Amino acid sequence: MQETTAVGLALTVRAPKTELVAGVPLTPITALQRSQCQRFASLHGRPMPCPGLLPVPISVPPAYSGPPCLGVFGEDACGHAAIQVSRVLFVLSQSNFKVPPDYIGVTFQQYSGAVVPMQSIVGGPLGHFVFMASTTMPAVVGNGSGRGASPVPTYCAQQVTATPLRVKGVIAKLYQCSDSGGGPGVFQLLMGHQLLVWNQAGITCEVSFHGISQVNVDLDVAVADSTKMVTAGRR
């Protein structure tokens, strides 16, 4: 039933087409994934944002012998994006998606202090992508709920761009999130990410890719531009 409802809604919304951003393919969200956005809308009783494009997952090799990665949240995940829905937050996280050999993705620091790239399940760069939406983002992610509280973690610093970034005509803010500073009780999913934040119909939306680069800024903008408002039922 969820699949049918999602497909019915998809027919009324102009679906985005597959895009290629600096060698990183983005593909339309599936009907089943869209149904999770509809579930979020149902919990709130109003239309809620849903990304129209997502990275293309790497197929898990038959001979893969690493730790379980299907359905996992975070940088060790593989397959289609993992999604969590609650009344306070919609969060979608995906790792191990297709990227070119020169892509700047997830890194780790060796004991020597050297920072080196982490590898995907098939070798090559490891990407990590996060999309979030909330009516109370500062309290959920920024650890604050007062007037003027930030919707981003304290380890993220705003970046000034030569030309203001816009999502659907609205000015968006760009942040560079450090790999450190995510202590106990701090929302850590965005560490090391290039983060874009904007407001869509009164809902705070955030999209980010791990790795500080112009490519990841362009990916942020592409996913943000693909985001549509969805409702709980068929239209």
- Given this model, what pLDDT does residue 139 score? 85
Q: Mean of the per-residue pLDDT values for the chain?
A: 87
The pLDDT score that the predictor gives to residue 143 is: 66
Average pLDDT estimate for 18-26? 95
List C-alpha distances in Å: 15 to 30, 103, 147.
11, 27, 37
Percentage of residues in the chain having pLDDT higher than 90: 64
Q: Which has the closest alpha carbon to 175: 158, 193, 187, 162?
A: 158
Handedness of CA 92, 97, 98, 103 (dihedral sign): positive
Q: Is residue 9 predicted with pLDDT exceeding 50?
A: no
* Residue (of 151, 137, 141, 55) closest to 103 by Cα position: 55
* pLDDT of amino acid 205: 97
Residue 161: strand, helix, or coil: coil
Q: Which of 48, 192, 182 is nearest to 126 (CA)?
A: 192
- Which one has a higher pLDDT value, 69 or 144? 69
pLDDT of 21? 96
CA distance 206 to 83: 14
- For residue 210, how far is the Cα from the chain centroid? 10
Closest C-alpha among 27, 226, 213 to residue 106: 213
pLDDT reading at 146 higher than 90: no
Tell whether the model's pLDDT for residue 23 goes beyond 80. yes
DSSP 220: H
Q: How confident is the model at residue 235 (pLDDT cuts 50, 70, 90)?
A: very low
| Burial class of residue 184 in the structure, from the number of CB atoms within 10 Å of its CB (0-12 exposed, 13-18 middle, 19+ buried) | exposed
Which pLDDT score is estimated for 70?
A: 83
* Average pLDDT value for residue range 146-170: 87
Which has the higher per-residue pLDDT, 15 or 154? 154
pTM of the model: 0.88
Name the band, by pLDDT with cuts 50, 70 and 90, for residue 39. very high
Strand pairing class (128-134; 115-117): unpaired
Which residues does residue 130 pair with via DSSP β-bridges, in sequence order?
93, 208
Least confident of 22-26, 98-102, 136-140, 204-208: 136-140
pLDDT at 11: 37
For residue 7, name the pLDDT band (cuts at 50, 70, 90): very low
Helix, strand, or coil (residue 33) = helix
pLDDT at position 65: 83
pLDDT tens per residue, range 45-64: 999 999 999 999 999 988 88
Q: Which helix (H) or strand (E) holds 128?
A: strand 128-134
With beta carbons less than 8 A apart as the criterion, state whether 211 and 201 touch.
no
Least confident range of 36-45, 65-74, 144-153: 144-153
CB 42 within 8 Å of CB 32:
no
Residue 120 has pLDDT above 80, yes or no: yes
Instruction: Encode burial over 202-220: b for 16+ CB neighbours within 10 A, e otherwise.
Output: ebbbbbbbbbbeebbbebb
